[in-house]
Structure 1
Amino acid sequence: MSRIERLTWASAALLLLIPLWYFAADRATFIERPDDVLRALPHFLAQGDTWTNIGITLLRVVIGLAIGIVAGVIAAFVMSRSKFMGYVLTYYVIAALRTPSAIAAILGLAIFKGSEAGYILVVAFITFPYMAIGMRDGLNSADHELDEMAQIYHLNLFAQVRNIWLPLWHPIFSRPCATPMPCRGK
């Protein structure tokens, strides 16, 4: 499919939402019509509270994503390195993956009673399993000879992560080699 065809289909899909929105607004009491929303939008965006609340929400999302990513990476690393912990953590990751996001949000609000931590932890909870599964699969498919090399050179965990695993995860972490030995990717 060409780029123009994809753009045409994407535009048609977006335009189809407008009549569906009118249809839903006519049949539900809690949905406003699109033209009413457009008329109220400038006033809504002109209020100072709107932008403050958007900023607070974005901060919560960023913090929650960071926590979910870090937790997922740590879980993936542990799952790929220890068979026993891999089995144990896999159950938690699968349970988190199979929990619908709406249920996680409702439980988070109920447990944390609308506190700041609740909002952040819901985002982290939803992000965590996807990071853990993706990173675990990537680590398991990595070259295991790199582990042997790290053991031969007695690299500590920090050195392994910095010099072996980070460059595998993303090329921005790769550094030019300072040794006469051939570098990976050259």
Structure 2
Amino acid sequence: MNEKERSRYLLKVIPWIIPLLLLIFWQIFTANGFIPSNVFPKPSDVIQAFIELMKNGELESNIGISAGRAIIGFLIGGGIGFIFGLFNGLFKGFYWFTDSSIQMLRNIPHLAVLPLVIVWFGVGETGKVFLVALGVLFPIYINTLHGIRSVDPKLIEMGRVYGLNRFALFTNIILPGALSSIFVGIRYALGVMWLTLIVAETVATNSGIGYMAMNARDFMQMNIIVLSIIIYALLGKISDLIAKLLEQLFLKWE
């Protein structure tokens, strides 16, 4: 194994050292009784809960429901945030007309409107999707706006010198120059998406991973509660990895 291959191998292994150590310490402290099982379950109990929930189809169903809510809310809120960021970055008149209102809304904690959302939409799907959309809208808006406004004016001027029209300027210079900032917004919004969904599903729902955790709480099933937390973490990590892969694909030229 040459030096380059060794470096690549280490870069793949290093991120897993801390999770592996945490798993080892978790097993040691729970197996020896340092941490009571009614406070924190053993890894084997969590694995057993995973197997049982997979067998009866409950886990697969709840993961699918939660993922569906997250994706729909992200697409709606992210789409709105991207459009407003795009228009406000490209057109000063649109910016002066809408930005102040958007910034005022942004400074309201979106989870603070949860009681109002329950009154408006009840405990159905609409309220949870609305909360997720509201949460992801602002990170994508801010970073899209920042990305467009951060494009080097000299590059835009050079494009005009070469005779590019507005559409060609946008597709060849402005959008590629803003993509890095937009992807930062997407990755941040993905974290907000799962955080919002966790709160929404544990307060007002009758299905999903959060509901599964709250239902387990009522029966003191600590293994299912911990399993739910791990699933949320894994879903968050998977969505972030997808965003990173898309970032590498679209920003390969950088």
* TM-score normalised by length of structure 1: 0.63
Pairing of 1:37-186 with structure 2 (within 5 A)? 37-83=46-92, 85-87=94-96, 88-93=98-103, 95-96=105-106, 99=109, 102-144=111-153, 155=165, 161-168=170-177, 169=179
Higher relative contact order (CA 8 A, sep 6+): 2
Q: Does structure 1 conserve the Cα–Cα contact (< 8 Å) formed by 2:86 and 2:145?
A: yes
Distance in 2 (CA, whole Å) between partners of 1:107 and 1:17 is 40
How far has the Cα of 1:56 moved from its partner? Answer: 2.6
Q: Partner amino acid for 2:112?
A: I
Distance in 1 (CA, whole Å) between partners of 2:103 and 2:126 is: 21
* Deviation, structure 1 residue 135: 1.0
Q: 1:114 to 1:13 in 2, by over 3 A?
A: same
Contact 1:69 1:124 in 2 (8 A): yes
Per-residue CA distance 1:15-52 (angstroms, 9 max, x = gap): 566759x859746xxxx634544333211111234323
Q: Structure 1 residues 65, 139: CA separation in 2 closer, same or farther (over 3 Å shift)?
A: same
Which residue of 30, 33, 45 corresponds with 2:41? 33
Shift of 1:125: 1.0
Larger radius of gyration: 1
Give ranges in structure 2 of 5+ residues lacking alignment.
1-9, 181-247
Partner Cα distance (1:173, 1:7) in 2 = 27
TM-score (norm 2): 0.49
Can you give the 5+ residue segments of structure 1 that lack an aligned partner in the other structure?
175-184
CA distance in 2, matches of 1:145, 1:125: 35
Q: Cα 1:13–1:173, aligned 2, differ >3 Å: closer, same or farther?
A: closer
Query: Are the equivalent residues in 2 in contact too, given 1:104–1:126 (CA < 8 A)?
Result: no
TM-aligned CA deviation for residue 57 of structure 1: 2.1
CA distance in 2, matches of 1:57, 1:103: 21
CA–CA distance in 1 between the matches of 2:175 and 2:249? 9
Q: Which amino acid aligns with 2:142?
A: I
Q: 1:53 to 1:161 in 2, by over 3 A?
A: farther
Cα RMSD over matched residues?
4.0
The amino acid of 1:141's aligned partner reads S
Question: Are residues 104 and 25 of structure 1, via their aligned partners in 2, closer, same or farther at CA, if it must alter by over 3 Å?
Answer: farther
Question: Compared with structure 1, are the counterparts of its residues 9 and 44 closer, same or farther at alpha carbon in structure 2 (3 Å cutoff)?
Answer: closer
Distance in 1 separating the partners of 2:128 and 2:169: 34
Query: Is the 8 Å Cα contact of residues 77 and 134 (structure 2) preserved in structure 1?
Result: yes
Paired residue type of 2:87: V
Q: 1:39 to 1:104 in 2, by over 3 A?
A: farther
